[in-house]
Amino acid sequence: MLFPIFSSYTPKWRCKFNDASSLPTLGSDSATFSKNCTVFQHCTAPNTIEFDHIYFHSAALEFNWICGSMGYLVPLFAQIQFCGVLIGTLFYGSLSDCFGRKPVAMFALSFGISMIVLSGFAPSWQILLVARFFVGLCIGGVVVVVYTWTMELVLPEHRIPIRSIFNWVSSEVNLNMVVIH
């Protein structure tokens, strides 16, 4: 569920100029690295945008979701996945009550893995959005069905310690402590 954060990564940019005469038209932001969309949209010649410290190539960079008419796809990308999570929790929860936890959990896991692989090799942003919606559906299924199924397998006297050690909040705190140090 952290993938939309990394997929929307966009480093700062600036416009590389071949002649000094075009520098004053864009202002001082064009010489320094920034996230000014005016600079990005005015540098239309090929290879005139220079990015600052590209640590990895995100979906925003791959499919040019930076500024302009495609800029709205960055928040839409996260919304599509989390809508899938919402629908998946409702859908897979009911499905697991009808067909059992194990088969529904195995289906959600295997289908989710196949959709993650598809999203990794998506040739277009449309296929990527559809694949991430289905990944969200499967995340919702895994969160609801696998967690419930696992708790049903654990003896009742061990459920409270397991829930207190392995929960979402403590995992987030531990992850933040690793990142800080």
Task: Give the per-residue pLDDT at 62.
Answer: 82
Q: Phi and psi dihedrals of 16, rounded to 5? A: -85, 130
Task: Give the per-residue pLDDT at 139.
Answer: 94
Task: Give the per-residue pLDDT at 166.
Answer: 67
Task: Give the per-residue pLDDT at 43.
Answer: 75
Q: How far apart are the first and last CA of the chain?
A: 23
Phi-psi region of 100 (alpha: psi -120 to 50; beta: other; left: phi over 0): left
In the predicted model, residues of the chain with pLDDT beneath 70 are 1, 17-31, 44-47, 166-168
Please state the three-class secondary structure of 49-106 as a single string: EEECCCCCCCHHHHCCCCCHHHCCHHHHHHHHHHHHHHHHHHHHHHHHHHHCHHHHHH
Task: Give the per-residue pLDDT at 20.
Answer: 45
Task: Give the per-residue pLDDT at 98.
Answer: 95
Q: Phi and psi dihedrals of 55, rounded to 5? A: -75, -35
CA–chain centroid gap for 118, Å, is: 14
